[in-house]
Structure 1
Amino acid sequence: MTTTASFRAWHRPMRPRRRDEEHRSATPLELFFDLCFVVAVAQASEGLHHDVAAGHLGHGVFSYLSVFFAIWWAWVGFTWFASAYDTDDDLYRLTVLVQIAGALILAAGVPRAFVEGDFTTITYGYVVMRLAAMANWARAAAGDPERRATTLTFVAGVGVVQLGWLLRLLLPPAWLVPAFVVLVVADLLVPVLGERRGQTTWHPRHISERYQLFTLIVLGEVVLSTSVAIQRGVDAGNGQLWSLAAAGTVIVFAIWWLYFDRPNPLPPESVPGALFWGYGHYFAFTSIAAVGAGLAVAVDHDLHTGHVSGRVAGYAVAVPVAVFLVALWGLHLPAKRGLGLVLFPATAALVLVTPWLFAPVDLIAGVLVALVAVTLVLRHRDASRTS
């Protein structure tokens, strides 16, 4: 009996979990996995901050979007698999720890990828992560005969695309960007092809919680930037930064409130709807983390250490806030009615006007407070009508 129990703890069939499983929540292992992405997100945000503050806007935006895709996609691959097949046996824990090691290698490669466009270290991190992921998909193929075609599609797709990323390292510089775009599309198509052959049993509430937790990670970048603004204001004796810090605090509070508004819609159960919801969060995550970089640019401008105008510094905050509002509107569009259909896009347009006015960051904070107030009124009005 003891031998059998020990074997089951070490290795058991990787059966699919039920989609209607009660009390399905993030595990300590998943939280540990997320923790390793904090550094990577912070480095990407910091790289964007320095490039924009130095006036290298085009390079900063492209580098940020490409590096953040690498971070986000590594997280996505693990999250959706774990939602469907987490067995929590010892073998699974070991393979996840290997993936965490790959995530740490990926994080170490973020600065070089941002500054030099060199994705070598990030690619090596992906090799470690994806070998472990392919092993888990192969275990799922053995333990879930009903979805064997799906799981084997993931094994083959992940392996072929990763081989493409390795071959990209051998290409001449002129081909790197086109190859990057092609491989990004190929990566995004793997779940499309796999899920069409048989939908995996990911848990809607668990996936929603996992995305909420990653939202908190990127919100942490905005909190950090706000804290730095206060610290630098105190050190420099610049009272103007207190206003900026207050506005940044209001902005991060408003973003949190809007994303976690009640009720928070779950991902659709259909494959196209779930893919749109899951992929659409890339824009929500990138924009939230970019708000932190924008606030840091605004601090540099107020301290006269940046090389951009006040209008550019204002847009460094306004653009990511506007993108976040549009992304959130798209993700929650099926639940919108009446004024809710146009409220978020209209607010995003208003936010984009603020850099042409006085104290744009303060104005953005005020606009977001007004948006939160309106959404509260609409929600309570709808709740009253329903009751």
Structure 2
Amino acid sequence: MAADAHGALFRPIVPHQHSRVTYAELFFDLVFVFAVTQISHNLLGHFTPLGALQVTMLFLAVWWVWVYTSWITNWLNPEKTPVRLLLFALTLGGLVLSTSIPKAFDDRGLWFALAYAAMQVGKTVFLWVATPPSRPLARMNAIRITSWLALSAVFWIAGGFAKGETRLVLWGIALVIEYLSPAVRFWIPRYGASSVADWVIEGGHMAERCAGFIIIALGESIIVTGATFAELTWTIENVAAFVSAFVGTLAMWWIYFNKGAEAGSEEISKSSEPGRLARLAYTYLHMPIVAGIIVTAVADELVLKHPGGHSDLRTVLSATGGPLLFLIGTILFKHSFRGFLQLSHGVGIIVLCGIAWFAHDLSPLWLSLLTTAIMVVVAVWESISLRSDTPE
């Protein structure tokens, strides 16, 4: 999409040149540091089956509004003033969204729904208007996306007015609509579905944007660990839990960034169908990766506050479930461009499932140390195996 008189707001695409992430995009991302923090704290305070379901829905909404914005700014150029102003408006909307998270299923549900619907529909309408008739495929794609998001917005806002289980159901329908839409290529009556070839993207930019969100999630984990540890009396157990939490976060960084992130960026940059890979690897498969980091941050806080005694159910679920989600996400993400499943990740997944069976008999500290050790082994194993340029 070259920037010309017929598409002045679009990013210029220069062959063999990577479109950098702009400062306006990074400014927009700041709100989602807060959003991720709100989600983890919400899970910590509502660790029940219903609470976990509600937090999952909120996470899916936050991820979806962020990743859709990344798609929009992959097409449009944030260095252009109208696009930059759009990002600033979305930042304000994201702030309202984030501050509504703790009471989204109470008295701030309508605020959450209005902020979410306004962000999703507003930016796609902007894309529609910014796409000139001389780009019929891109314009039709914008119309399709707007149609699906407008439909889901009806359920979001209706859920904001509803109460209790009705809100849960209506928002669930809205999420199904939005998550289904890319899979069916935004099919609409009369005009049919879009072609994946219509989703012209700059692959390196998309990879960098998603890697940035991983950094946001990891940074939130560090913030939670540091803030919790600062308020505690520093005992040997607490210090050990603090070190375990930090090393576990470092292992997650290593597993994702040491080999996977750069390889994924290279693969999508040279792919003949970058839109298809972006939809699978960066839109869908990054969700369990981010969710795993958030759940692990919850476990780290629980272990720091209560390192001794037997592990209760929420400690077991978060301490093993967080790394498990992360490894499932990374093994599928890497499989999408490598074509084989990492043995190190698969073994890590199996061992974590095994630990969950007897984790109740372990203290939270020992459970944390054990799960951290598994993540370190996975990171080292993958690094050594790929250094020899042979699949594990």
Aligned position for 2:251: 254
Aligned position for 2:325: 323
Task: Name the TM-score, length of structure 2 as normaliser.
Answer: 0.84
**Hey, what's the Cα distance between the residues in 2 that align with 1:365 and 1:215?**
18
Alignment equivalent of 1:297, drawn from 291, 296, 302: 302
**Hey, what's the Cα distance between the residues in 2 that align with 1:93 and 1:253?**
34
Query: Does structure 1 residue 379 correspond to structure 2 residue 365?
Result: no
Mapped contact 1:45–1:293 kept (Cα < 8 A): yes
Listed as ranges, the matches of 1:1-387 within 5 Å are 13-15=8-10, 17-18=12-13, 20=15, 22-52=17-47, 57-86=48-77, 88-113=79-104, 116=106, 118-129=108-119, 130-142=121-133, 144-171=135-162, 173-192=164-183, 193-194=185-186, 196-198=193-195, 199-233=198-232, 236-264=233-261, 265-266=264-265, 267=268, 269=273, 271-277=275-281, 278-302=283-307, 309-310=311-312, 312-334=314-336, 335=338, 336=340, 339=343, 342-350=346-354, 352-353=356-357, 355-356=359-360, 357-358=362-363, 359-382=366-389
**Hey, what's the Cα distance between the residues in 1 that align with 2:13 and 2:93?**
29
Mapped contact 1:92–1:136 kept (Cα < 8 A): no
SS in 1 for 2:389: helix
**Hey, what's the Cα distance between the residues in 1 that align with 2:256 and 2:244?**
18
SS in 2 for 1:25: coil
The percentage of counterpart residues that share the same residue type is 19
The structure showing larger relative contact order (alpha-carbon pairs under 8 Å, at least 6 residues apart) is: 1
Mapped contact 2:124–2:142 kept (Cα < 8 A): no
**Hey, what's the Cα distance between the residues in 2 that align with 1:348 and 1:329?**
14
Moved more, 258-267 or 336-345: 336-345
**Hey, what's the Cα distance between the residues in 1 that align with 2:344 and 2:236?**
38
**Hey, what's the Cα distance between the residues in 2 that align with 1:314 and 1:99?**
37
SS in 2 for 1:26: coil
Moved more, 127-136 or 289-298: 127-136
Moved more, 196-205 or 178-187: 196-205
**Hey, what's the Cα distance between the residues in 1 that align with 2:40 and 2:163?**
28
Give 1:15 deviation, angstroms. 4.0
Aligned position for 1:3: none
Q: Which runs of 5+ in 1 are unaligned?
A: 1-7
**Hey, what's the Cα distance between the residues in 1 that align with 2:38 and 2:202?**
31
The alignment covers a number of residue pairs equal to 367
Distance change >3 Å, CA 366–CA 289, structure 1 → 2: same
Deviations 1:205-258 (A, max 9, x none): 11110001000111112112321343133xx24331001001001100000000
Mapped contact 2:152–2:175 kept (Cα < 8 A): no
Distance change >3 Å, CA 338–CA 147, structure 1 → 2: closer
Mapped contact 2:203–2:274 kept (Cα < 8 A): no
